[in-house]
Amino acid sequence: MPDKSALSDLIKAARGEIPADLLIKNCQVVNVFNGLIESYDVAVYDGVIVGFGGQRANRTMDLEGRYLVPGMIDGHIHIESSMVIPYEFTRAVSGHGTSAVVADPHEIANVMGVEGIRYLLEATGDLPVDFYFMIPSCVPATHLETAGARMGAAEMKELLQEDRVLGLAEMMNYPGVIHGNPEVLAKLELFKDKIIDGHAPLLSGNELDAYLVAGICSDHECVEAYEAEEKLSKGMWVMIREGSQSRNLAALAPVVNRVTSGRCMLVSDDRHPDDLLAHGHLDVIVNRAVEEGIDPVTAIRMVTINPSRYFGLRRKGAIAPGYQADFFSCASLRDIRPEKVFKGGRLVAEDGIVFPFPRPETGSFDLFSMNLSRVAPENFVLPAGGKKIRVILVFENQILTKELIEGAPVKNALVVADPARDILKIAVIERHKNTGNMGLGFVKGFGMKRGAIGSSVAHDSHNIIVVGCDEASMATAVNSLVEAGGGLSVVQNSTVLARLPLPVAGLLSDAPLEDVVGGVEELNHAYFELGGTLPNPFMALSFLALPVIPELRITDRGLVDVRKFDFVSVFA
């Protein structure tokens, strides 16, 4: 709320007693309250909309009949998926009409805990995009892996007083909720007066009822219309996800109608660097929604006033008197391409070009997170223990896997990779506490004939994960990441063919987005040169350590059968 003198001046500017700072003339305003397109002028004073014409102004801008759209709000995103620091993320999305994001810093929290979240709070102050945060609910995600941190109710309480902390992020441990796990209930009790986001794939009936009784308000995991319909009918908000990895808009668009649209949002969840650079952010998702038959104004409401209301972001998400002057102009609502983007009444981007802005200082944070020793080829040796092995089968553009039983490729009493059969060795090495933990297994689907690829991005605990055709290449890949402070690498024998350093928690680069995208392209090219066949190999690699998605996964503690939620032997 403005102080008394500032409030007095706002009222005077609204009445026309003092001139507004800016008057935007000849625009068609998208009114998210009545669903209409209305023609009037918009007056701005001190970053706030003060009226719809009749005011004097120190500066006038003529939009020549273009649309004026409220700044867009992403209600659920893991900004770590962009692989760049918040400054670069902002530079990427602000020109696309994004004015605010609500982030779940789940990834960096699993590496650095509270300190990682405090880094993000520091790194997102005073940017031309407003960053709000939900506190991760599951750090670590499971007991089947070694994370870099643990966050219980006591650690979460430290962050509750932060202005930009809105609530508890997606409660992934839905079995813990519905069965009354004391640790889970303590977290829910701590956030009982805040927003609590959900994560409840396929949850239905009495179990969904129990989940909702616990105070959970939303879900972004619906993949079928019937799921969304039940959740909406029981009072949940449904976040329709259309990200780089998971795309649910086509299946869920039929659920959006005149009645339900007020409790639906469009979110990205994950937005990868190449998508950000080549396509954009929420503007692309709104355009996809229109393609799927959703009315343009309804789609805009789902990224403006709806998330504003859900999260209690007062005075955001609309073009109306008293609201923050966050908006952009465009020529069409059926193919939104932001032209002039305003943040707090200030022009921050034009025709996709973002004007320079200061980079927040974060020098007080130690962001190094590669706490492990170098490895040798012998570390990846596996003595034969049977004639059959379990193999993780990877699918193109999917994060689900299958369990295969294959004949063990044995040489000199050791089980080795067999590139001719596309059976490669996979390992996950703990990198947070230098425990020496290593899980070894086999994977099929990467197609490589030689060499190895490695990554320190491995959901959710983000240990080092490596897939290779031989032990020497696997050791080179891991050691190259230790030297870089984290990142992605492609190697052959002792030669590093391509590497992208991610020195911020082993997850983020502080280089320009364009350089990161170029680095990913170099990595993919090197992977294809080794015979690889997956279109997004590092994305596929990053999910193989996530022991909550069926069927077979691997962590630093071993091979996991997700159906049993327990460890299994490599040998069948």
Give the model confidence (pLDDT) of 461-505 as tens digits: 999 999 999 999 999 999 999 999 999 999 999 999 999 999 999
User: Given pLDDT bands bounded at 50, 70 and 90, which one contains residue 5?
Assistant: low
Is residue 1 over pLDDT 60?
no
| CB 239 within 8 Å of CB 219 | yes
Q: State the pLDDT at residue 413.
A: 95
Q: State the pLDDT at residue 570.
A: 97
Tokens 């024998």 correspond to what residue? 493
Q: Enumerate residues 6+ apart whose C-beta is below 8 A from 8.
A: none
Q: State the pLDDT at residue 3.
A: 64
Tokens 């596309």 correspond to what residue? 422
Chain-centre distance of CA 556, in angstroms?
23
> What domains are there in the chain, each with its CATH number?
71-316 (3.20.20.140), 377-568 (no CATH)
Q: State the pLDDT at residue 41.
A: 96
- What is d(CA 269, CA 246) in angstroms, rounded to the nearest whole number? 8
> Which of 562, 372, 366 has its CA nearest to residue 465?
372
Q: State the pLDDT at residue 244.
A: 85
Q: State the pLDDT at residue 240.
A: 97
**How many C-alpha atoms does 5 have within 13 Å on its Cβ side?**
0
Q: With DSSP H G I counted as helix, E B as strand and the rest as coil, what are the percentages for the chain, rounded to 5?
A: 30, 30, 40
Q: State the pLDDT at residue 152.
A: 92
User: Given pLDDT bands bounded at 50, 70 and 90, which one contains residue 2?
Assistant: low
Q: State the pLDDT at residue 544.
A: 96
pTM over 0.75: yes
Span 37-71, pLDDT tens digits: 999 999 999 999 999 987 899 999 999 999 999 99
- What is d(CA 208, CA 219) in angstroms, rounded to the nearest whole number? 11
Residue 96 phi, psi dihedral angles, 5° rounding? -100, 15
Three-state helix/strand/coil letters over 138-168: CECCCCCCCCCCCECHHHHHHHCCCCCEEEE
